[in-house]
Amino acid sequence: MLKLCNIKKQYPQFQLQCSLEVPKNCITALIGPNGAGKSTAFKAILGLIHIDGGEIELFGKPFCALTPQDRTRIGTALCNSGFSGYLKIRDIVPILSQMYPEFDKENFLEKCRHFDLSLDKKINDFSTGMKAKLKVLLAMSHNAQLLILDEPTVGLDVVAREEVLDMLREYMLSGERSILISSHISSDLEGLCDDVYFIHEGQILLHEEIGTLLDCYGILKVSGEQYNTMNQTRLIRKKKEIYGYSLLTSDKQFYLENMPELTIEKCSIDEVIMMMTKGEIL
Amino acid sequence: MKGLLIKDWKLLKNQGRFFIVIIMISILISLFGSRTYSGFTTSYLTFALSMFILSTLSYDNYDNGMAFLLSLPISRKIYVKEKYLFALFLTFGFWLIFFLIDLLVFSIRYSSRESLQILCQSPVYLALILLFLSYSIPLHLKFESEKGRMMSFGILGLFSLGIFCIVRLGMLAALQQILTESLSMIIGASAVFCLLSFGISYRISVKIMEKKEF
């Protein structure tokens, strides 16, 4: 569905260099700390910035060969951008009807009512949560095959967040569809995504299926002595702690079977992010 | 492009009350204003309302909105084309409304010769407004709202200073003489010049947008 082949973007103090793939019927997450390059990657995919190298392929076509018709197959929600705040939802409906042949007006209006989004209020007067809901609804309103969602749940309360995530799950049930999503709320991604890319300082440091990440990755808590004597071949990162070291492994089972005396914990996406950014490469 | 035109039209419609007030003011000025300023005032109001096209650019940029707009199924060239079409539509639309108001009111207030004299100024103001938009749109696209606005009015200020100097140096009579002697040629040349400026301005704006990053 979407392929980034070694794309490069050079800024005076930052360089993005990454490859990434979003297959059909998959929800792929792009995670990383602030300033890691997530938004730059999203902007490159949407053609909002000019890349210095590499290739972007969408629906099997090079990006430069995409027609406006191809672009109707993309639904976008950007965290810091949207329709002018001086417009109302009622104003947006005819705009979308003109731009997207498959815009489902009835369904969109029904979803707006469901989320208590007033049709006659200026978007500027919406709360942060309401704006976030509207952005996701807009992205899903025209039967897009690929959704590109940059922080879609930011500003939402727990209930609304779960409702939005349910909508995304439901969205994936019909047809060949894919989602590329970024979020700071790792619990959202754990229950939603199929695979995850971890980006840091403009580089992809890790790509793993979410199931593998949660089942096979683990944190070992070891003393200095234990660290010196243990098998280190399956370790990815090391971080100094008061008691010795915390270690990130991609093969928790190996240590459970061979070194049962070690303290081995399951790890969340947040802990992987923490270890990948703060830990020492092994 | 139709979607973008609808967007700008909706933005315009949301300011409806403001436009109705301006049109009412125009009618009142035409009815009760002094003869000297009649034609000028309504043309000035056309100018003020045509500035709305620059406001739509500001609205699009507001809160980084341009990034979202360009993620919709439109190219950057189509975005620029829509702005120029909307500018033409808006300027001619308002100009026509005020021209018809003037035509109606002046035919009641003044003799037909006097009315004609005042109304003849109207196309000149229209040309000037189009000229103003020709350089203002690219400036707004390049430098965005605040800076673009300041530069547009800076250039307008310099232009006004030029006119002031012409008047102070006593060259106005000579200029008027030339204008009267070859009026039809000057009107024709002005129309061509305006259209040419608009075309060149469009091409510059496309280049600016294509280079820009959001």
Strand partners, A4: A20, A56
Do residues A192 and A234 both lie within one domain? Answer: no
Which residues of chain B neighbour A46 with C-beta distances below 8 Å?
67, 70-71
Which residues of chain A neighbour B2 with C-beta distances below 8 Å?
98
**Contact call for A87 and B11, based on CB within 8 A:** yes
Do residues A52 and A166 both lie within one domain? Answer: yes
pLDDT of B115-152, one tens digit each? 666 667 777 778 888 888 998 999 989 887 778 778 87
Query: How large is the C-alpha radius of gyration of chain A?
Result: 21
- pLDDT tens per residue across all 282 residues of chain A: 899 999 999 999 899 999 999 999 999 999 888 888 998 999 999 999 999 999 999 998 888 888 889 999 999 999 888 998 999 999 999 999 999 999 999 999 999 998 899 999 999 999 888 899 999 999 999 999 999 999 898 878 888 888 889 889 999 988 789 999 998 777 788 888 999 999 988 999 889 999 898 889 999 999 888 888 888 888 999 999 999 999 999 898 898 888 888 888 888 888 888 888 888 888
Nearest CA in chain B to A135: B68
Which residues of chain A neighbour B68 with C-beta distances below 8 Å?
76, 78, 81-83
Do residues A239 and A203 both lie within one domain? Answer: no
What is residue A27's predicted lDDT score, i.e. its pLDDT?
A: 94
Q: Is A183 exposed, middle or buried (0-12, 13-18, 19+ CB in 10 A)?
A: buried
**Total domains in the fold of chain A:** 2
**Contact call for A83 and B65, based on CB within 8 A:** yes
What is residue B40's predicted lDDT score, i.e. its pLDDT?
A: 65
Give residue B54's domain range. 2-211
Q: Kindly report the nearest CA distance between residue A131 and chain B, in angstroms.
A: 13
Q: List, for chain B, all residue ranges whose pLDDT scores fall below the cut of 70.
A: 34-42, 114-119, 167, 170-172, 175-176, 178-181, 183
ipTM for the predicted complex: 0.85
**Total domains in the fold of chain B:** 1
Q: Kindly report the nearest CA distance between residue B52 and chain A, in angstroms.
A: 14
**Contact call for B214 and A95, based on CB within 8 A:** no
Q: Which of A209, A232, A267 is the last residue of a domain?
A: A209
Measure CB to CB from residue A76 to each of B71, B75, B214 and give the nearest one.
B71
What is residue B79's predicted lDDT score, i.e. its pLDDT?
A: 95
Task: Please report, for residues A108, A151, A168, B195, the alpha-carbon distance to residue A114 in angstroms, rounded to integers and kept in the order given.
Answer: 10, 22, 16, 50
Do residues A194 and A276 both lie within one domain? Answer: no
Neighbour tally for B127: CB within 10 Å:
17
Measure CB to CB from residue A46 to each of B4, B14, B71 and give the nearest one.
B71
What is residue A64's predicted lDDT score, i.e. its pLDDT?
A: 82
User: How far apart are the C-alpha atoms of B140 and B64, rounded to whole Å?
Assistant: 15
Do residues A228 and A117 both lie within one domain? Answer: no
Q: Select from B48, B55, B42 the least CA-distant residue to B86.
A: B55
Give residue A231's domain range. 217-281
Residue located via tokens 């490159």 = A44
Q: Which of A174, A209, A244 is the last residue of a domain?
A: A209
What is residue A36's predicted lDDT score, i.e. its pLDDT?
A: 87
